[in-house]
Amino acid sequence: MKYNKKPITQIVTATAFAIFSFVQSSAQIYPFQNPKLSIDARVNDMVSRLNLEEKVGQMMYNAPAVPKLKIPEYNWWNEALHGVGRSGVATVFPQAIGLAATFDDALAKQVASAISDEARAMFNVAVKKDYRLQYGGLTFWTPNINIFRDPRWGRGQETYGEDPFLTGKIGVAFVKGLQGDNPNYLKVAACAKHFAVHSGPERLRHEFDAKASMKDMWETYLPAFKQLVDAKVEAVMCAYNRTNSEPCCGNTYLLQDVLRTKWNFKGHIVSDCWALNDFYEGHKVVKNDVEAAALALKKGVNLNCGNTYSPSLVKAVQQGLVTEKEVDEQLKVLLRTKFKLGLFDAAEANPYNQIPASQINSAEHRSLARKVAQQSIVLLKNNGVLPLKNDLKKYFATGPCMSSIDALIGNYFGVSNNYVTILEGITGQVQHGSQVEYRPGTLLDRENVNPIDWTTPAAKASDVTIVALGINGMLEGEEGESIASTTYGDRLDYNIPKNQIDFLKKLRQDNTKPIVVIITGGSPMNLSEVHELADAVLLAWYPGEEGGNAVADILFGKVSPSGKLPITFPKSLNDIPAYENYSMKGRTYRYMSIEPMYPFGYGLSYTSFKYSDIKVSKATVLKNESITVEATVTNTGKVKSDEVAQLYVSHEGVEDAPIYSMKGFKRVSLVPGQSQKISFTLTPEMLQLINENGESVFTTGKVKISIAGSLPSKRSEELGAAKQTATTIILQ
């Protein structure tokens, strides 16, 4: 992001930031104030000057000030899922699942960089006023890289979908954009959550035991976390639930064997909020809060979001359950993050302190939000009515999500002073002289009380009816967020509200005029009747503050749709296993043999594409060898458009191997008639399989390699996706 590059001393001074109040002229200089020392030396000095109660206080999310050392209070809890959240005006980008639908990790890094610019700008202004509120710090508990294994999970909208490869790629890019590239300082600190094997049910999360085989752990649930650890994510948040009988925040295997020992993670571990209370209230693995604090500390939890460590960790030391030395060691890990953020250095030492408030919801960031929304929107059906002309005589805009801000923002959102609803986006692009009539038509999730119908006549009298249906964060999300949900935010009913389908049927009855449906929401849902009744269907997700403009850009053909589904839409919940079952068998595109409604990777365009001329650098591949795969993609239609080329491998004849596994994706932009050669590298690790012990093994035999514009399945072809080009290699 662009911001003023003048010398820092011309922009800010040390006195502008109370948190950076340590200057060389101080009467007493502690070693931890000396930026010339190593971080370890500074941390050790600070810890040596704290008593036990002060040490424990610094391990709380709402760490109090330590006046004797001039350490200001600091609240670790902040959110930035798709923009700085809960902290005032900020750019509201499309929800995380929408970002994943772009299949564009470079774009994800741009988004995260914009978010972290705004975060630093907000922090700089707040500290100048000595505001140190929750949601005001530089430690952000994002991204959520859990696998969206089941469409019932209300928080699936926070994730990057069902695929470990896609999740890892987008997640790594997001972390790098948040944390920046300065060799001395973090711009902000990112956090990979929720570790691990966590994806509902929401209502049971404080007591639930997720059972996962070693194969599923290492094939599905852990790979993205490993990628983010390798990318040096600063924090990892342990989940509420148990995994294989141990609470995640007290889990020897996850926290010690895997995270610290096998992966050599050096950052800090934070508990999910009040998860330590679940040790004795939900999971009942300890008797009380003191034992819970001791267990969490011994397993490696450095930061407590909740109220358990203080004062219970002090009592645990006094009772001999843990030692003060153990407290010291876990605190030292945590404090390293604060030093990396520059919280104890003079303001002019840290380049991120010059980021100005003008970055917050700037025109540049709004433009980026619009671009992301454009690329995230998925065209599910089009019988030729789209794109629309913007000078028709009359448009009828209707539906419960048409003028809704809630349909734009999803959950964990910031606020904007300029939301563009779908209605506003449409009316902003229709030419003068044309009419736009709007009526909501039906409520979000219940029948109208007033039986009078003015919408059906309006639809029949219009050249086109545009209907915004779907769900919003009141119906799906976290347990306390979804205030209209009787199932704690989960979607145990796969259908969109029945009154909406009835409304669409009424609009369609005896009406031969085109009907275009826009669906909002963050999860798969049963759209079979919508697909049959509508002439075109656009999935907009929760498209952010510029969502209305982006939807209109697609509707009127300023931009060709190019979003792809990062998650499978099954036809029915009867086609997948029980929600509480964490086995991957029968789940996601990788293991689901039943034909879905919409397959993973699917999304139509206003043009057509052809894949051809697939080539591999080696037809026979030995263990530890990489190969290059090439193919040509051609725009065979009449409209300029982006396309997302997707690489899949299938191990033929290998029992329990995934049916398909994504191993690469590339977004390309092509004008009509243009061809582009694309290439991917398949590393030895990408060609390996995971055995029942969770080990990566090289398995000989045939491997089919496919490059396509969607999952290379029969259903994709039925829906009109570009056909695959494929070849076979031999592993020996």
Low pLDDT (below 70) residues in the chain:
1-28
Q: List, in order, residues 6 or more apart from 329 with CB less than 8 Å away.
A: none
Domain with CATH 3.40.50.1700 in the chain: 377-567
Q: How far is CA 486 from the centre of its chain?
A: 25
The answer to whether 291 is a known catalytic residue is no
| Catalytic position from the list 105, 118, 158, 272 | 272
CA dist., res. 48 & res. 157, Å (int) = 44
CA dist., res. 75 & res. 418, Å (int) = 29
CA dist., res. 184 & res. 352, Å (int) = 11
| Catalytic position from the list 476, 479, 490, 643 | 476
CA dist., res. 426 & res. 310, Å (int) = 53
The predicted pLDDT at position 530 comes to 98
Q: List, in order, residues 6 or more apart from 580 with CB less than 8 Å away.
A: 201, 204, 208
Handedness of CA 167, 170, 176, 179 (dihedral sign): negative
Domain with CATH 3.20.20.300 in the chain: 8-359
CA dist., res. 419 & res. 89, Å (int) = 11
The closest of 544, 476, 534, 470 to 507, measured between CA atoms, is 534
Contact 22, 346 (CB under 8 A): yes
The crossing angle, in degrees rounded to 10, of helices 324-340 and 289-299 is: 60
CA dist., res. 71 & res. 129, Å (int) = 16
Residue 373 phi, psi (nearest 5): -60, -45
CA dist., res. 297 & res. 301, Å (int) = 5
CA dist., res. 27 & res. 11, Å (int) = 26
Reduce the DSSP state of residue 452 to 3 states and report it: coil
In the chain the first and final C-alpha atoms are separated, in Å, by: 48
Reduce the DSSP state of residue 394 to 3 states and report it: strand
**pTM, to two decimals:** 0.96
Reduce the DSSP state of residue 346 to 3 states and report it: coil
The predicted pLDDT at position 29 comes to 86
CA dist., res. 53 & res. 310, Å (int) = 8
CA dist., res. 134 & res. 238, Å (int) = 20
The closest of 482, 465, 636, 470 to 555, measured between CA atoms, is 465
CA dist., res. 99 & res. 651, Å (int) = 30
CATH H superfamily, domain 609-731: Immunoglobulins (2.60.40.10)
Angle at 251 between CA 248 and CA 256, to 5 degrees: 125
* DSSP state string for 589-611: HHH--SPPSB-TT--B-SS-EEE
- Domain 377-567 matching CATH 3.40.50.1700: the answer reads yes
Handedness of CA 211, 213, 215, 218 (dihedral sign): positive
The closest of 652, 59, 43, 629 to 322, measured between CA atoms, is 59
| Total Cβ atoms within 10 A of residue 410 | 29
Quickly name the fold that domain 8-359 has. Answer: TIM Barrel (3.20.20)
Contact 209, 241 (CB under 8 A): yes
Handedness of CA 635, 637, 638, 639 (dihedral sign): negative
Position 51, amino acid:
N
Contact 701, 653 (CB under 8 A): yes
Contact 621, 627 (CB under 8 A): yes
The answer to whether 476 is a known catalytic residue is yes
Q: β-strand 725-731 against 701-708: which pairing, if any?
A: antiparallel
The predicted pLDDT at position 24 comes to 35
Task: Look at the block and give the residue holding tokens 């000989």.
Answer: 700
